[in-house]
Structure 1
């Protein structure tokens, strides 16, 4: 039950961050979505053996988190959850790609380990950018921005419904698990009991969805969520998007880490 409660609290905290009033929060959601999507595309476009050239791209999530005043520990903690999954994918690479690229002292480093490190770095970059985007924008605003950028309305509505009623589902699951624990008297529940609990939760979700649907029809729902805040794509948004796109293009065309290494080598004797 602790994991369910922690999940709900984590989602609510992220939603609270999106209600802050900073310069990055006041930007139109479409500008932040476009910049984040461009960031993800550029990061994904690098060669599978690229690691050092990806490191300068950390400037994007770091700057956005700083402007949005998001706690570093919160962002790092949530991003760290994805690292084991990225490692689970990348750890197979050393088994199939055993060509030695260089030696670290007496230890040979194969291409598989480099591609594994590249996968982890990409996962951290993309996940942190997506998490910070939601933290400085809000999930409903992101869905609305995607719809205004061309996403099918049906898909945007499904994403918003999922987010809006995820808290309700988590609360129902928390109460059900708590009731099971009280009736188990500290013993581990049997598999049939757990299956019955899951079926009961599914049935309650089905009934609640039917009641919500009838309530929305009674309130003249026609397939639109009317946002309280209407965004305006002005000069600030244009400068925000153009500035980041220019930086991404430069970092993609030139290896900033290599240039920095050459510069340090010339300065230091």
Structure 2
């Protein structure tokens, strides 16, 4: 199976996971989107040395992985290219900031702390985004965007771009298969064929786009879509879920909960 076919297969798996009848999937898409944005904003708002405070923010993705019954190993496999890039962002901090800080009486490198804090911020933000995508279909997300009064044309572009990715990857797979049949003993695509293949992909994409648009017009498209879940109403459990997490995350942002719990348990067992 080629890389393009693998990518198409992964997209279909993500779509099927988002359409499952799980408790997390049944939550209102606007609630999940707002909560994800709120979590990311709180996570990146920590100071660059507050590693202990950031550790408390792992509670959100951990509990949501349990509630959504998603596989953490599948998440790491799908994000295997993104997470290393996120972690590499602050790799030069120990060289740029060589001062020392004392935490709990232990001298530590300020650059190392800032690097670790930056890595945690990136990893937690990526995990929160993955949880949103894995439990919410693209139609539900676009419906949430329309509820936030995001311009219709932007929402339509997001929806059609996501749906057309699969068509584009299938065209790439066909072209690569045809090229491999004409050059059976060659590994990869020769540099002399990059330009013609790119041009052919552009032309085939334009043709498929025209066919897709004509099909949409024949089915009554007039500039707007009927999104899946458009008639979904906010329920009491949706509001309770949002309010509960808003309070919990605000507490973890304001107070070092792990240190407080450690002090209390240490005092109880002393």
TM-score (norm 2): 0.91
Ranges in structure 1 where 5+ consecutive residues have no aligned partner: none
Alpha-carbon shift at residue 181 of structure 1 (Å): 1.7
Q: Residues 138-157 of structure 1: matches in 2 within 5 Å?
A: 138-157=137-156
User: In the TM superposition, what is the alpha-carbon distance from 1:102 to its structure 2 partner?
Assistant: 4.8
Alignment of 1:1-269 (within 5 A): 2-102=2-102, 109-188=108-187, 189-229=189-229, 230-269=231-270
Contact 1:43 / 1:122 at 8 angstroms: preserved in 2? yes
How many Å apart are 1:247 and its aligned residue? 0.5
User: How far does the alpha carbon of each residue in 1:128-178 deviate from its partner, in whole angstroms, 9 at most, with x for none?
Assistant: 111111111112211211221222222111111111111111111111112
Partners of 1:59 and 1:34 lie apart in 2 by 18
Please give the root-mean-square deviation of Cα atoms over the aligned residues, in Å: 2.2
Tell me, in whole angstroms, the C-alpha distance in 1 between the residues paired with 2:80 and 2:60. Answer: 18
Q: Are the aligned partners of 1:29 and 1:142 in contact in 2 as well (CA < 8 Å)? A: yes
How high is the TM-score relative to the length of structure 1? 0.91
Q: 1: distance between equivalents of 2:250 and 2:12?
A: 35
Measure the CA separation in 2 of the matches of 1:139 and 1:247.
28
TM superposition shift of 1:111: 1.7
**What does the per-residue CA deviation read over 1:34-58, in whole Å, with 9 as the maximum and x for residues that have no partner?**
1111111111111112222112222
CA distance in 1, matches of 2:14, 2:183: 34
User: Any conservation in 1 of the 2:89–2:119 contact (CA below 8 Å)?
Assistant: no
User: Structure 2: how far apart are the matches of 1:109 and 1:173?
Assistant: 50
Secondary structure of 1:25's aligned partner: coil
Q: Which runs of 4+ in 1 moved over 6 A?
A: none
